[in-house]
Amino acid sequence: MRILITGGAGFIGSHLCDRLLAEGHHVIAMDNLITGHTRNIAHLAGHERFQFIKQDVTEYIYIDGPLDAVMHLASPASPICFDQIPIQILKVGALGTHKALGVARTKKAVFLLASTSEVYGDPLVHPQSEDYWGNVNPIGVRGVYDEAKRFAEAITMAYHRHHGVTTHIVRIFNTYGPRMAAEDGRAIPNFISQAFHGRPLTVHGDGLQTRSFCYVSDLVDGIYRLLMSGVSEPVNIGNPNEMTILELAQLINELTGNQAGIIHRSLPEDDPKVRQPDITRARTLLGWEPTVPLRQGLHQTIDYFRNLDANQ
Ligand code: UDP
């Protein structure tokens, strides 16, 4: 297949490029590098089946030649970005998804949308299954991301129903691994960076809010299975192994040997209190489930950040 990946230089996008190339596909990665980075795809430079185009996907997208699939991953996704670049987040979810769908329709290509567990907001149903409609504050600071992705799902389904485009929607839950940006602001890269500097880990609130962390190779495997499937309804991909943020911080201090402990900071607005994917649909329709244990994934992530530090 010849596949366009928007956000191809991002954390997840670049791992997806690797997987698609390993499966023998041709990959065109598109990224404006606002949160993605060329270091994530530097190892692919010169690969005969890989091409990179630096472009903002909210602008008209022109691709020469045929395409079999368009995978729309472009979007800032870190809570820091919700404050700093809210308009770009809304634009890439709305205008960018529209452009990416337009390419898919023109090329008669399959379309896959990277959506998010954030469509469930601060959930009132636990764990979250795909038929839950969510509890989102549209005017809160997180609303720029949540509502952009909800719009993206709506326009994807409209192209599916109205234009007959073959579409897939993956709802990605918290994912971690190598190539996350150290300055990303999310819990795992933040805690690892703080631990490397011998500083206390900043736990927001009492730290009893929960998340369920999925290693990136597991996520990419789920996305690939979804792309190759006939499933058009949204599918949660994430690891149901739920823990509190306090437990996560303690584990990272243990794995890094950080003696500085933990300090508490105020809880950001609308921070979801719980999150755990119900992955029954992924299990039954895609035969998928995560395999990488948290400690192993964290070791690999810690090694990545250690090497990054050493090379800077
Ligand atoms: N968090 C924290 N300290 C940090 C960064 C994040 O306690 O230095 C908390 C954050 O408030 C949230 C959880 O960790 O409750 C997961 O945050 P992250 O930004 O990784 O993902 P999201 O909130 O989007 O699930």
Domains for the chain: give ranges and CATH numbers.
2-179+214-240+276-291 (3.40.50.720)
The tokens for 54 are: 């630096």
State whether the beta carbon of 270 lies less than 6 angstroms from ligand 1. no
For residue range 234-248, list pLDDT tens digits in order.
Answer: 999 999 999 999 999
Report the C-alpha gap between 55 and 49 in whole angstroms: 19
Mean pLDDT value of segment 215-225: 98
Give distance in angstroms: CA of 131 to centre of ligand 1.
Answer: 25
For residue range 151-183, list pLDDT tens digits in order.
Answer: 999 999 999 999 999 999 999 999 999 999 988
Give distance in angstroms: CA of 303 to centre of ligand 1.
Answer: 21
Mean pLDDT value of segment 50-73: 97
The tokens for 75 are: 């979007």
Percent of the chain predicted with pLDDT > 70: 99
Q: Residue 204's beta-bridge partner residues?
A: 265
Flag whether pLDDT at 70 surpasses 70.
yes
For residue range 4-16, list pLDDT tens digits in order.
Answer: 999 999 999 999 9
**What does the pLDDT read at residue 184?**
86
Give distance in angstroms: CA of 186 to centre of ligand 1.
Answer: 5
State whether the beta carbon of 281 lies less than 6 angstroms from ligand 1. no
Specify burial of residue 295 (Cβ count, 10 A radius: 0-12, 13-18, 19+). exposed
Catalytic residue among 60, 120, 145, 176: 145
CA 182 → CA 79, 186, 219, 277, 305, distances in Å? 14, 9, 20, 25, 7
Q: To which H or E segment does residue 227 belong?
A: helix 216-227
Mean pLDDT value of segment 294-307: 96
State whether the beta carbon of 79 lies less than 6 angstroms from ligand 1. yes
**What does the pLDDT read at residue 309?**
73
| Cis amide prior to 277 (ω within 30 degrees) | no
For residue range 194-207, list pLDDT tens digits in order.
Answer: 999 999 999 999 99
**What does the pLDDT read at residue 117?**
98
State whether the beta carbon of 174 lies less than 6 angstroms from ligand 1. yes
145 catalytic residue (yes or no): yes
Q: Identify which of 225, 75, 223, 56 has the alpha carbon closest to the alpha carbon of residue 151.
A: 75
pLDDT band with cut points at 50, 70 and 90 for residue 308: confident
pLDDT band with cut points at 50, 70 and 90 for residue 312: low
CA 197 → CA 34, 190, 210, distances in Å? 26, 11, 25
For residue range 105-121, list pLDDT tens digits in order.
Answer: 999 999 999 999 999 99
Mean pLDDT, the chain, integer: 97
Strands (E), the chain: 2-6, 26-31, 50-54, 69-72, 110-116, 167-172, 175-176, 201-204, 210-212, 214-215, 235-237, 242-244, 262-265
